[in-house]
Amino acid sequence: MVDYTEGSGKQYHTSVSPEDIGKYIILPGDPGRVEKIASYFEDSRFVASNREYTTYTGRINNVKVSAVSTGIGGPSAAIALEELVKCGAHTFIRIGTCGGMQDNVMGGDVIIASGAVRMEGTSREYAPIEYPAVADYEVVQALGEKASEMKLSWHVGVVQSKDSFFGQHEPDIMPVSYELKDKWEAYIRMGCLASEMETAALLTVGQFRKVRVGACYLCLANQERAKKGLDNPVVHDIDPAIRLAVNALSALIEKDRVKGEKAD
């Protein structure tokens, strides 16, 4: 591969090197959320900002950790994960927002992904479509345990990852509306909890690269409840989901320390 950095020692897109980041990383989509996440770290500091990738590094339980934004969608998320793995990171939790799909999912609830529907293009350049995008069990377990301890209203299950935001919210105007609407209905019937845009790519790349990846989200609102005339609160406060990701990462660090693995 061509060295586009011309020997700088930094990754081309994220502008980080191994000494800049921790091996445990929280991945928001929005660069504007990185500093907020880092406020829960000890001794946090700004590291780099390039394109959609903003990085802060600090410590949790005296172990070096980072928060790195991925931007919107699978392609940019996969690039972030690839470059961070090259820098030695091995444990990742995506934190973001989603839209609810099941009637029992309310705005303000937290969703934990056990797996993701690969209705996007990035993961297809890694694995055949028949291969599932599955979250790491240890990460899912840590998120679930901490969600219970925090007494959050939470759900765990499969989410849908798509490439087109407006394909979800305005399917009738799309030339392939018939396909979008039929698949959406099928995912609901299968019990899919929520829709977002990055997880399928991250889980698939993580499986390929043999690193731990999981995800949790704030449910902003639920368009299916709105369609049925049900109460549909719109909630923008992502802080509980951020604290969940931080607490879960802390738990993973401690478990790794007890096992004598990974944490440093």
Domain spans in the chain, listed from the N-terminal domain onward: 18-259
Print the SS3 string covering 201-242. Answer: HHHHHHHHHCCEEEEEEEEEEEHHHHHCCCCCCCCCCCHHHH
What tens-digit pLDDT sequence spans the chain (264 residues)?
Answer: 767 776 778 999 999 999 999 999 999 999 999 999 999 999 999 999 999 999 999 999 999 999 999 999 999 999 999 999 999 999 999 999 999 999 999 999 999 999 999 999 999 999 999 999 999 999 999 999 999 999 999 999 999 999 999 999 999 999 999 999 999 999 999 999 999 999 999 999 999 999 999 999 999 999 999 999 999 999 999 999 999 999 999 999 999 999 886 666
Pick the CATH number of 18-259 from 3.40.50.300, 3.40.50.150, 3.40.50.1580, 3.40.50.12780: 3.40.50.1580
This prediction's pTM = 0.95
